Amino acid sequence: MLFLNDIHKFNIFAMLDDFDLNLLIVFRTLMEERSVTRAGIRLGRTQSAVSNSLRRLRSKLDDPLFIRSRNGLVPTPVSERIAPEIVNILAKTEEVVRARSIFNPASSTHHVSIGAPDRLSLPIMQPLLARIMKAAPSMSVSVRTADREYAIELLEAREIDIGVGWFDDLPGNYRMSEAFTEDLVCLTAKAHPITKKRDNPVSVDEILTYRHVVVTSGGRKRAAFDSLLERIGLRRDAYATLSNFALVPEMLRNSNLVGVFTRRTAQYYATTFDLAVTPLPLDIAPITHKIVWQTRFDNDGMHRWVRNQIAEVCSGAEFAKQGR
């Protein structure tokens, strides 16, 4: 420990209450240069500034530290004794500072947990996981099905690190960046009555004459479309509320039920399960998906790298094709 042999003399714990660690940098430079002038040149400081720092060090440590001679500064026995510990302290400090911002995905063994609604599993999470596996093969990832309020709850409880999706309002201790914007469409059986009006987008009033299949996370009964309807004083009749899309294709294919989902999700299920996609009216606002995290992770290297991977997946060419 720093100054262990001299702790009785310096009372280190009291001293560190207002100790300026920059003084240790001055001390190390003086030990190497043995000259106030040369130390000032290396540190980019004036000679008087270095002399003032040395004066403060002498006061703190109650020792002259350096004695002037014909050949420059000569360290006292105390300086020679504490010099190796100071070099070690500064090396550890520099290592900690570098570690704050440097992240090497190729060697990382970090774990990251991401919360996202089920509708983003295929268009976002699938390519994201493949991307992380390739760039950071020793990392591990968990994906929690979580949307909006539930995602915020999980972030608050520190059960996930990053949330992706559509959010109404965020607490003050959060940051966000936009991922992508996507419109809502109807997903139905190909023989559904509203598919006959594909040339003219079906009206909201007509959509609401049918019962709906709703997919929402965390046991909530309201999805993004419900919030948009609420803003114009409307609501829909939910026949079934599900936490994922597993049952959606069969429920829609053999009934007149309606699903209102984001375009990429609906397009995937329409293509895979022989369903139909019908546009919604233009006055139904598109959904802007966001990447959300707590401010305390702003400068975390791993966290920032994962956020960048999500953003790059969302802006990639392959993802753009899914929305056509």
- Identify the residue with better confidence: 142 or 20: 142
Helix (H) or strand (E) holding 275: none
- Which option is the CATH number for 4-101: 1.10.10.10, 1.20.1050.10, 3.40.47.10, 3.30.390.10? 1.10.10.10
Q: Does domain 184-285 have CATH number 3.30.70.260?
A: no
Alpha carbons 111 and 141: distance in angstroms, whole number: 6
Show the tokens assigned to 200: 């003219």
Alpha carbons 214 and 258: distance in angstroms, whole number: 9
DSSP 8-state symbol, 125: I
Domain regions of the chain by residue span: 4-101, 111-181+288-322, 184-285
Q: Model confidence at 12, in pLDDT bands (50, 70, 90)?
A: very low
Entry pTM: 0.66
276-279: strand order across its sheet: 259-262, 184-188, 276-279
Beta bridge partners of 122: none
Show the tokens assigned to 262: 């984001």
Is it true that 4-101 and 184-285 share their CATH fold?
A: no
Rounded average pLDDT over 174-200 = 88
Alpha carbons 130 and 134: distance in angstroms, whole number: 6
Alpha carbons 299 and 289: distance in angstroms, whole number: 22
Show the tokens assigned to 294: 């707590």
The structure tokens 């996370």 sit at: 217
Q: What is the pLDDT of residue 13?
A: 45
Report whether 24 contacts 89 (CB < 8 A). yes
Instruction: Identify the CA nearest to 252 among candidates 185, 190, 208, 184.
Output: 190
pLDDT over 70 percentage in the chain: 88
Fold classification of 111-181+288-322 (topology level) = D-Maltodextrin-Binding Protein; domain 2 (3.40.190)
